[in-house]
Structure 1
């Protein structure tokens, strides 16, 4: 983000000129269609924010002075597919060249009722900007790349400062999820190595006072924001601020382990590895399966996320710096590489071992050196040897599998069939 711009008020001519996303035929087609006959249209929000930060733009959102009906009329005349995705709230999705672009009419709030608001359409760009959450989301870009900034969001963006628009208390009360969005935006767009004190003090004070409102949020909404926050590069800094404001304990309960979480970042940097959000959540808040089950319920985790979170402490208990190679291979076989590596990270952080520790690095690298084989036998093999269907088939198969593991996974199918005959005979 260059400071060498021609600043005139809050307009920077051509600041995004030539941007790939702006020059796409689909983007230009929509903007040209809506920038005529007395109406204006500009790219808005995350589209402009990401472009100014050098983050690839995947989705293009557009704001316009044209009403939804006018947008749909112009789309029909231009042969562009239009989908009514919320015209009562001002939103129509246009699909030029098979690329969906969400177009929303400028709005201003007449009355607000928490997340709900009675809005009216407007032609005033500043009024539209004032109803958004953060200043860095209240940026607009015209077809020629000129950036329009009614509320000083560009300065905040350059400073990597997340700041609420207007009174933080009012913005938060409109939707308490904005507390989590504030910390997620700090983790994604803030200064990841900057001091905690560089965060907006007014926002943090309001968050601390309003944090009780988090209890009104559904688990699903909290889950979606928290997972994205945990995956961000600046998560550790945001979590520290969440702890200071009481937000983290409200969300997770117990005693979140920030020191252990910070160590995950150290290991990631040393290993060029990115832990997934469930591993990060486990390091932060899970040591036993019961904690994982509680979080899975409260945060409405998917079945796959719940299974991973529960498995991580189980894997961690089987791993330490002195574990035998065969036991480590058995853990990798049982849990698979994803949970195995997460378990190593969990145990590594608990042990407070150095990131250069040879034993822990060897454990972590095991999936690169050894791929667990598939167990060669199935229940049908035992049935073919004369074993009667029933629970004993599973018991016998597990016994054979355990013997195979103890043999360092070396026995081939022929050897296993010999073992199986003896196992079946012993149970006859």
Structure 2
């Protein structure tokens, strides 16, 4: 993210919500939903994260609508217009309206009757301010009507301008309603670079043990989202100092060098940045103990794909390569088989983890830049051709010859079938 984008996020201008772009037309569809509810006699407004993002000049990933209509009434209104509805969260007041092929959540205004730190029992209401009171952060507690008017009951716009992370009301009360809000704070900090004050951080530290009652899947999701962020240094330091990182990963401290490595990783794709940073943290805790790392990743309920990426990134025989970069190519193939990029993700991570192997990594990077796409295609010489055209004999020697040809193919030493056969003849002659 460039400096101008950062400044725009931290200092959103007045009227940004009205000026934000709508590249996929979802904002227009959200307005249609609002207008449909208003024509039926109900109030309806955009709610939460989409309002925040529009004020920041960011295209929202999702649009949510809050309304005074009850769940059954929402269904009736849209069915009368022959618009599909799906009761995705009827008990909590959420109906998915499918309009122009796009799903959009429409939720009745609510108030909390009781909470236990994981889930809430709600009652439906008619007050937008009361609904805002139950939300987590001030910048997530705003609404926007169809005319672009912002309804901000707790200073969310001022907090956006100040780059400030603040809970609605009393921090500890909001946290005790849902302990996952502790990790959501660090996620938003990492995403936007907004910072909480000392009182808010102290509330996270004091209530951290409440995370023990939250499901592992929810904790891991928030952790991985945090590790993807553009502003990782300060939130990760604070997670360590408040004891939160110890609760979720068993890490009490993070040396400044490791923090700088994570912050300096030049990985543009966020979905790859998170696993790479996780690998650094796991290496910090467990060193070269692959079994311990794999066991913790299973405890975290990470997908097999992410587990494989982390293991492939950490356990590479760089110290055994000598001067032969071809040995690492199988590792690169296995990495890219997981759908990730070597040049964009694994190479920057290896440079951060293994600076002492700069020379061999430079060589591998050069080979990849020149021959990477071609060398991943099928080697154009097989055993049958070697026997029929080069006089190779079946047996172990043929297997060794094929392996050597593949190795040299990876390094770009030959490129065509004829070149491969000529090299094979030379190798057979040399072996005699």
Change (3 A) 1:53 1:362: farther
Counterpart in the other structure of 1:217: 214
Superposed, which structure 2 residues align to 1:59-208 within 5 Å?
59-191=62-194, 198-208=195-205
What TM-score does the superposition give when structure 2 sets the normalisation length?
Answer: 0.78
Q: CA RMSD in A?
A: 3.9
Superposed, which structure 2 residues align to 1:11-410 within 5 Å?
16-17=17-18, 19-21=20-22, 24-36=27-39, 38-191=41-194, 198-254=195-251, 256-268=254-266, 276-286=273-283, 287-288=287-288, 289-315=290-316, 317-318=318-319, 325-326=325-326, 332=332, 335-336=335-336, 338=341, 342-351=345-354, 363-364=364-365, 366-371=367-372, 372-374=375-377, 376=379, 397=399, 400-401=402-403, 404-405=406-407, 408=411, 410=413
How far does residue 145 in structure 1 lie from its aligned partner after superposition?
0.4
Q: Whole-Å Cα distance in 1 between the matches of residues 235 and 191 of structure 2?
A: 10
How far does residue 298 in structure 1 lie from its aligned partner after superposition?
2.0
Secondary structure class of the residue paired with 1:31: helix
Secondary structure class of the residue paired with 2:239: helix
Secondary structure class of the residue paired with 1:251: helix
Secondary structure class of the residue paired with 1:85: strand
Change (3 A) 1:16 1:377: closer
Q: Whole-Å Cα distance in 1 between the matches of residues 281 and 72 of structure 2?
A: 49
Q: Whole-Å Cα distance in 2 between the matches of residues 259 and 343 of structure 1?
A: 19
Q: Whole-Å Cα distance in 1 between the matches of residues 161 and 121 of structure 2?
A: 33
| Equivalent pair of 1:81/1:94 in contact (CA under 8 Å) | yes
Q: Whole-Å Cα distance in 1 between the matches of residues 347 and 29 of structure 2?
A: 47
Change (3 A) 1:18 1:232: closer
Q: Whole-Å Cα distance in 2 between the matches of residues 19 and 308 of structure 1?
A: 36
How far does residue 219 in structure 1 lie from its aligned partner after superposition?
2.5
Change (3 A) 1:178 1:29: same
Q: Whole-Å Cα distance in 1 between the matches of residues 75 and 395 of structure 2?
A: 64
Secondary structure class of the residue paired with 2:154: coil
Change (3 A) 1:221 1:397: farther
How far does residue 265 in structure 1 lie from its aligned partner after superposition?
3.3
Change (3 A) 1:222 1:116: closer
Change (3 A) 1:319 1:96: farther
How far does residue 91 in structure 1 lie from its aligned partner after superposition?
0.9
Q: Whole-Å Cα distance in 2 between the matches of residues 339 and 393 of structure 1?
A: 35
| Equivalent pair of 2:48/2:143 in contact (CA under 8 Å) | yes
Change (3 A) 1:367 1:295: farther
| Equivalent pair of 1:47/1:61 in contact (CA under 8 Å) | yes
Which stretch shifts more, 144-153 or 198-207?
A: 198-207
Q: Whole-Å Cα distance in 2 between the matches of residues 398 and 149 of structure 1?
A: 72
Counterpart in the other structure of 1:11: none
Change (3 A) 1:395 1:341: farther
Secondary structure class of the residue paired with 1:57: coil
Change (3 A) 1:164 1:25: closer
| Equivalent pair of 2:313/2:350 in contact (CA under 8 Å) | no
Deviations 1:294-336 (A, max 9, x none): 331121111111111111112273589x855555656545654
Change (3 A) 1:380 1:258: farther
How far does residue 353 in structure 1 lie from its aligned partner after superposition?
7.5
Change (3 A) 1:329 1:100: closer
Q: How many residues align?
A: 398
Deviations 1:128-165 (A, max 9, x none): 00111111100100000001001111111121211111
| Equivalent pair of 1:35/1:41 in contact (CA under 8 Å) | yes
What TM-score does the superposition give when structure 1 sets the normalisation length?
Answer: 0.79
| Equivalent pair of 2:232/2:262 in contact (CA under 8 Å) | no
| Equivalent pair of 2:228/2:274 in contact (CA under 8 Å) | yes
> Which 5+ residue runs of structure 1 have no aligned equivalent?
6-13, 192-197, 386-391, 424-428
How far does residue 410 in structure 1 lie from its aligned partner after superposition?
4.1
Q: Whole-Å Cα distance in 2 between the matches of residues 249 and 291 of structure 1?
A: 16
